[in-house]
Amino acid sequence: MALIGLGIDRLSITPAAVGPIKAMVRSLDRGALIDVMTPWLADPRAPLRDVLTGWASEHSVELA
């Protein structure tokens, strides 16, 4: 999810990860995530993983 928020639009993943990643991408508002990534990266007080997990939960993003 962090890579997508940074603007990466091509991922190389193992076949076993296709299902969970596909579900996450389909449930994600990419534009909204990109908009919030810059402020998060500028303020490193909170671990990015925790911030992303909280944002995903608030926005009904499917995380495996």
Asked if residue 64 has pLDDT above 90, the reply is no
* Contact between residue 43 and residue 13 where contact means Cβ atoms under 8 Å apart: no
Entry pTM = 0.82
pLDDT tens-place string over residues 25-48: 999 999 999 999 989 989 878 899
Per-residue DSSP letter, 59: T
**Given this model, what pLDDT does residue 45 score?**
83
* Contact between residue 24 and residue 61 where contact means Cβ atoms under 8 Å apart: yes
Q: What confidence category does residue 18 fall into, taking pLDDT thresholds of 50, 70 and 90?
A: very high
**Given this model, what pLDDT does residue 61 score?**
97
